[in-house]
Amino acid sequence: MYKYLRIVLSIKYSLPVTGLLYGNCWTNNINMKSNKILLISVIVVLVAIFFISDLGEYFTLEFFRSKQTLIESYFTSNPVKTGLIYFCIYIIITGLSLPGAAILTLTGGAIFGLVWGTILVSFASSIGATIAFMVSRFLFHNTIQERFSENLKAINDGMEKDGAYYLFTLRLVPVFPYFIINLVMGLTPIRTFTFYFISQLGMLPATIVFVNAGTQIAKIRTAGDILSPELIASFVLLGVFPLLAKKLLALIKIRKPQTPIESNNNE
């Protein structure tokens, strides 16, 4: 009898707690969905404004060349402010996965030079990529992982073990557009800091090459400048870089043991 009484009392006093827990879970789910809807709405509005207002025309070499003297004059008078404006614009463009990052990289070299241009582009592109990564993770990660958990098990295991290497490979040899890598990586178990650090490291060589090309483009004043040795060398480096990156990765792969994913692919 005493045992039954204990069971009844335990059920009686546990019901309010259980109800409170379920109520909190339900409230949290509602808040999560509301936050996701709000974030999606903000992104859609910002992307719509970009394309409807035709803001993409400001991210072309033609526009930069037409305003180059004005931009350089403003930079001379306000170097720090110019750097901050450029830095924020770059983060917004990459964070929203909008077109224009390549042109921004070139113009960064033209405005700030090789050293400061590389520093600004490297940090801005990595921060923007991480924002896109985090947005993708917040909106879609749990849904994708829950729905395709069995299918993704091998991929998740490989990413947890060698995700940094895979990401470094994708960054060093840009077979896929960077914005796709940002979004897809958000669906994997890779840690946010690892994503940021490896992205910055992997994108740095290409960043240097593009910024250097931008410094040479800024020097084109006449048709004869197009055939300058410096500019030709910059574009040769721009074309040869993917081949050099592939050779480097091939050497790394030879020294690296195969992962479960790579073994399955070979079979």
Least confident span in 27-31, 108-112, 220-224: 220-224
* 249 close to 169: Cβ distance less than 8 angstroms: yes
DSSP per-residue codes, 84-135: HHHHHHHHHHHHTT-S-HHHHHHHHHHHHHHHHHHHHHHHHHHHHHHHHHHH
pLDDT tier for residue 131 given thresholds of 50, 70 and 90? very high
- Would you state the pLDDT for residue 97? 92
Q: Give me the sign of the Cα torsion angle 17, 20, 24, 26.
A: positive
pLDDT of residue 228: 55
Copy the structure tokens of residue 43: 């992104």
- Phi, then psi, of 156 in degrees rounded to 5: -60, -40
pLDDT at 171: 85
Query: What percent of the chain stands above pLDDT 90?
Result: 37
The tokens describing 130, both together, are 């991480």
- pLDDT given for residue 7 in this prediction: 36
Confidence of residue 18 (pLDDT cuts 50, 70, 90): very low
pLDDT confidence of residue 236: 61
Higher per-residue confidence, 247 vs 64: 64
More confident residue, 228 or 137: 137
- Give the tens place of pLDDT for each residue, 184-242: 899 888 999 999 999 998 899 889 888 988 887 766 554 444 445 665 565 566 556 66
More reliable by pLDDT, 60 or 219: 60
Helix axes 101-136, 79-95, angle to 10 degrees: 50
Tell me what pLDDT residue 219 has: 65
Cα distance between residue 123 and residue 136, in whole Å:
20
